[in-house]
Amino acid sequence: MKSPNICQDCTVRDLALCGSLDDMELGLLNSIAERRTYARGTTIIWAGGESVICANVLTGMLKLTTSTPDGREQIVGLLYPADFVGQPYSEEAGHSVRALSDVELCVFPRQKFEQVLDNHIRMERLLLQRTLTALQEARARMLMLARKSAHEKVAEFLLEMADKAGPTGCRSAPDAPLTFDLPLTRGQMADILGLTIETVSRQLTQLRTAGVIGLPGSRAVTISNRTALEAIAAAA
Amino acid sequence: MKSPNICQDCTVRDLALCGSLDDMELGLLNSIAERRTYARGTTIIWAGGESVICANVLTGMLKLTTSTPDGREQIVGLLYPADFVGQPYSEEAGHSVRALSDVELCVFPRQKFEQVLDNHIRMERLLLQRTLTALQEARARMLMLARKSAHEKVAEFLLEMADKAGPTGCRSAPDAPLTFDLPLTRGQMADILGLTIETVSRQLTQLRTAGVIGLPGSRAVTISNRTALEAIAAAA
DNA sequence: CGATTCGTTGACTGTACTCAAAATCGGTGG
DNA sequence: CCACCGATTTTGAGTACAGTCAACGAATCG
C-alpha cells in the first residue's frame, strides 16, 4: 500500500521531531505519515479553519500569517526544513500557512499525530521544547515590531537572514564581505517587519549608499560592513 | 520542616498546572515548592540571567518584558493567577518578570521542576498545551503591534481587559454599560501596546468624547457602547 | 514580444513621537 | 482638614518617521 519506509531517505531525519524516535516507533509514525508537495503560493492551512493536519517541513520555506478582518497581513513566523507545522490539541487553526517556495511536507492527520505524541514521551518533550523556543522567538519579535525603527528592523533582518541563509563556509575574517540570496520579495520582507514595501526598499538603498551593504541583484545582498550593520540593528 | 501541605488551601489549585496531579503526586511537588511573596515593582527574573526558577502565580499580576540594548521596553505578556512563569529546559531567561502588584507565587527550582515534568506526563502535556496557547496569543499580539493603529490598539485592549477584569456578573444586555478597574498605569498600557503614554491618554480621551467609554477615575473605565468599541477595534 | 509582477524613486500626508507645561491624583504630615 | 509634595495624567505645539498615492524602470514569464 504505502511506500515501504518513507523515513529512510528523509532529509531532515535527525533534525526534526522524529529524530527522537527509534526505528520501531518510526515505523508506526510512518504508517500515518504521507509525503505531499505543494506549489509556491499554495495555502496549506487557513486561519480560522479546522486544524486537521500537522507536518514536518522537508524542503522549502513557508510563512505563517495572521490578518486583520480588513485584510492587513502580518507574517508571524517563517518555517524552514525540519520545522514543525500545525497546532496539536487545537480544533481551530490560529493562523494561515502558505508556501513561499515549492515545498515538500511530511503530513500527519492531527488527531493521529496527537495519539503518537501521547505514546511517545520523548517526542512530546521535544515538541514542548520547540514550542517554548518558538514562544521566546515570537516575543523577541514583538519587541522588534513595536519598538524598533525601520532602519533597525531592516538591519536586524538582514543579519538574521545572513546567519540562516548564508552558511557558505565560515568566512575567515569576521568583517569579510558575505553575499547571500534573499529568498523573499520586498513585499514579504515588509510583511515580516511590519513595514511597507516602499519603506523596505528605501531602507535598503539607504544602507547601500551608506556602503554598509551591496545589492548585486534584486534578490541578492552583500554585507560589506557587518560591524556597522550590527551597530544599526542594535541602537537607533 | 516545610509547612505540612501548602497546596491544601491553594487558591488556584484547580486552574493551575498542578490541577492535573493526584494527591500523592501533589505531595511530591509540595516538597519542592515554596510560597513566596514579592512587593509591587520587584523584578523576579532578569532577562539574560540564569533561569533558576519556575512558578505558578497565586495572586497578583506580573509583566513579562524584553528591552532593546538602549533601554526601550516592550511588555510581551501579562501573567494572572494560575498562570505559569519561567522557562523549563532553558539555561537562560529570555525576558524579565516583574510584579505589577504585590504578588504571591508558588516557586519551584527549575531543575527539580523539570524532573517532576519528566515523571508526570499529564502535567507535561498540560504545559505543552498552555505553551501552544501562549504562542498563539503572542502571534496575535504581533499582528496588533505591527499592523494596528493607536485607535484600534487601545480599543482592543479595553475589550480584553473588560473580559479579564470585569466578570462582575454577566451583564444582562450585551450593550449595558460595564465599569471595571484598569490595574495598569498609562505607562504600562503604553508598554503593552507599543505606544507612548501621551498617545494612550489621547486615544482614551478621544473615545470618551466620542461617548464610547467613560473615565470615572484615572484607573476606572466604563464601556458605554461596546458595539462601537468592537467596531473600532476590528476595523480602522 | 507583450503582459504582469516586482522594485525603485518621488512628492505629499498623516499618525504617532518628542518636548514642554499645566492639571489632577494620592499620600503625608502639620 | 488642609497644605504640600511627588507621581501620574492630560493637553498643547511642533516634528519626523513611515505610510499613501503615483509614476516609472526592471525583471520574469508565458
Q: What is the mean pLDDT of residues A171-188?
A: 81
Q: How confident is the model at residue B168 (pLDDT cuts 50, 70, 90)?
A: low
Contact A36, A104 (CB under 8 A): yes
pLDDT, position B172: 52
The number of beta carbons lying within 10 Å of the beta carbon of residue B185 is 14
DSSP, res A174:
T
The pLDDT mean for chain B works out to: 90
Task: Answer yes or no: are the C-beta atoms of A17 and A126 closer than 8 Å.
Answer: yes
Strand C: which nucleotides have any atom within 7 A of a protein Cβ? 6-11, 15-20, 24-26
Better pLDDT: A174 or B59: B59
Q: One-letter amino acid identity for A9?
A: D
For the CA of A185 and the C1' of D24, the distance in angstroms is: 19
Grid coordinates of A189: 520582507
For residue A63, give the C-alpha cell: 510563512
SS3 category, B55: strand
Q: Which residue of B has its CA nearest to A134?
A: B135
Q: Which chain B residues in 193-222 sit with Cβ < 7 A of strand C?
A: 194-196, 198-199, 217-219
Residue with CA nearest C1' of nucleotide C24: B218
Say yes or no to pLDDT of A137 above 50.
yes
Label residue B193 left, alpha or beta by phi (over 0 means left) and psi (-120 to 50 means alpha): alpha
Question: Is it the case that residue B77 has pLDDT exceeding 70?
Answer: yes
DSSP H or E stretch at residue A59: strand A53-59
d(CA B63, CA B75): 7
Share of chain B above pLDDT 90, in %: 69
B32 CB-side CA count, 13 A: 19
Distance from CA of B234 to the nearest CA of A (A): 7
Least confident of A21-30, B182-191, B215-224: A21-30
Taking the C-alpha atoms of residue B217 and residue A147, their distance in angstroms, rounded to an integer, is: 29
Count how many pairs of residues, chain A against chain B, have C-beta atoms within 8 Å. Answer: 124
Residue with cell 513566523: A77
Residue B99 has pLDDT above 60, yes or no: yes
pLDDT average, residue stretch A185-210: 96
Asked if B64 and A121 come within 8 Å (Cβ–Cβ), the reply is no
pLDDT of residue B1: 46
Give the whole-number percent of chain A exceeding pLDDT 70: 93
What phi, psi does B170 have (nearest 5°)? -65, 115
Residue A19: which pLDDT band, with cuts at 50, 70 and 90? Answer: confident
3-state secondary structure of A5: coil
Mean of the pLDDT values across residues A124-136?
94
A219: Cβ under 7 Å from strand C? yes
pLDDT at B171: 54
Give the predicted TM-score (pTM) of the model. Answer: 0.91
Task: Tell me how far CA of residue B223 lies from CA of A17, A179, B151, in angstroms.
Answer: 47, 55, 15
pLDDT at A25: 82
pLDDT band at A168 (very low <50, low <70, confident <90, very high): low
Cα separation, A196 vs B224, in Å, equals 36
Q: Kindly report, residue by residue over A41-97, the tens digit of the pLDDT.
A: 999 999 999 999 999 999 999 999 999 988 899 999 999 999 999 999 999 999 999
Residue B144: the pLDDT is 96
- The percentage of chain A sitting over the pLDDT mark of 90, rounded to a whole number, equals 70
Quickly list H helices, chain B.
23-32, 110-119, 121-147, 150-165, 186-193, 197-209, 226-234
Inter-chain touch A66–B129, beta carbons under 8 Å: no
Mean pLDDT, residues B117-124: 88
What mean pLDDT, rounded, does chain A reach? 90
- Which H/E stretch holds residue B177? none
The residues facing A57 across adjacent strands are A105
Contact state of A70 with B143 under an 8 Å Cβ cutoff: no
Average pLDDT over residues B23-35: 87
C-alpha cell belonging to residue B136 = 498563539
Note whether A128 contacts B129, CB cutoff 8 Å.
Answer: no
Name the pLDDT band for B167 (thresholds 50, 70, 90): low
State mean pLDDT over A180-194: 94
